[in-house]
Amino acid sequence: MENRITEIIIRVLQHIQTEEEMSVFLQWYHTSQENKQFYFEMKKMYDRRKGNLMPSDKEMEDSWERLQRKLDTRHAHDAPQSETSRRPLFRRIRYASIAAIAILLLISGIWFFRSESDRIVWVEERATIGNTPRTILLPDGSTVQLNASSVLKYPRKFHSKNREVYLDGEAYFSVTQDPQHPFIVHTDQQAIHVLGTEFNVMGYSSDPYTVTTLVNGKIKLETFDNSQALKNEIILQPNQQVYFDKESDEATVSDTNALDATLWMKGIYAFKDTPLEEITRRLEKIYGVTIIADEAYKNEKYTGKFFTRQTIEEIMDILNFKHQFSIQLKNDTIILQE
């Protein structure tokens, strides 16, 4: 299994993985923190290979030593017998992985010979900070409005039965109807199945929740825990919204005005009884800043709206109307305190 996942990771780094391989990768990636650390160590090696710098044996060893130190720190409080039993297993996996990586990196272009129909070229679109959403036309004619600090990944051509895309961030989807080829949007711990509809998804992997709002049509929403076990399966009707808490795995369905969830496409952000912590999280993504709020203010709720044409300083002043907190600006960091 270690060798196969190593191959899949290399293909993911090259953006040539199949949809089945992406599914295997995501399930493996979210299984444990160790797997995530494994991936990022491999990414460092791969990035060096892209720059025509082949990592030396010592560099590969150093990379895995860093990973082992991280794991040792995480397991520092484990029982002694658990620690001693874990070390040999980790060492075997480590050396097997180093050997596999060395072989794979030496292959010119790191190509794995598959049929042309099985090879998928992936496109990655990014929306940077700012007030203008990106409009993306997918291969099937569906359109996506991509919000700030968001990433959308999709195949250059939809080859398989399903049309699958991957989102980290917020986007509005207008999906072309094709009952024979269901459209699936994957976000962190969530999958949305549609035939032809319009909906909004806010699913940043850095946030502890996702929010899905249906404008028209019908969607089936599946949520998963950290081990990718299915936790919820919900059929959503127009003007309904699902709030999924990724920490508790709880999904809450509520009625809403779906148009409110799409105001961001017009540069408007409306909020009602929303905690300051959630508002600042949105502002960070739009303006590319870090906002540190005093614990005393994080749960304070606000109702109102702001416009992306406003500066971050103007918005901070508006939020300050409710509580006169001190605002400190240091480069790209804003500190709110008493």
pLDDT tens for 160-212 read 788 999 999 999 999 998 988 999 999 989 999 997 799 999 999 999 999 99
pLDDT class for 39, splitting at 50, 70, 90? confident
* Bridge partners, residue 316, by sequence: none
Provide the angle, in degrees to the nearest 10, between the axes of the packed helices 33-50 and 80-106: 30
**3-state secondary structure (DSSP) of residue 146:** strand
pLDDT given for residue 37 in this prediction: 78
C-alpha angle 280/169/254, rounded to 5°? 75
CA dist 91 and 68 (Å) reads 9
The better pLDDT of the pair 308, 240 is held by 240
Query: Under a CB-based contact definition with an 8 Å cutoff, are residues 209 and 174 in contact?
Result: no
* Backbone torsion region of residue 322, taken as left when φ is above 0, otherwise alpha when ψ lies between -120 and 50, otherwise beta: alpha
CA dist 45 and 41 (Å) reads 7
Query: Under a CB-based contact definition with an 8 Å cutoff, are residues 282 and 269 in contact?
Result: yes
Give the predicted TM-score (pTM) of the model.
0.64
Please write the tens of the pLDDT for every residue from 250-297: 999 999 999 889 999 999 998 889 999 999 999 999 898 999 988 888
Domains, the chain, ranges and CATH?
2-110 (no CATH), 121-260 (2.60.120.1440), 267-337 (3.55.50.30)
List, in sequence order, the alpha helices (H) in the chain.
2-14, 19-29, 33-50, 57-74, 80-106, 276-287, 312-319
Closest CA to 151 of 9, 285, 303, 253: 285
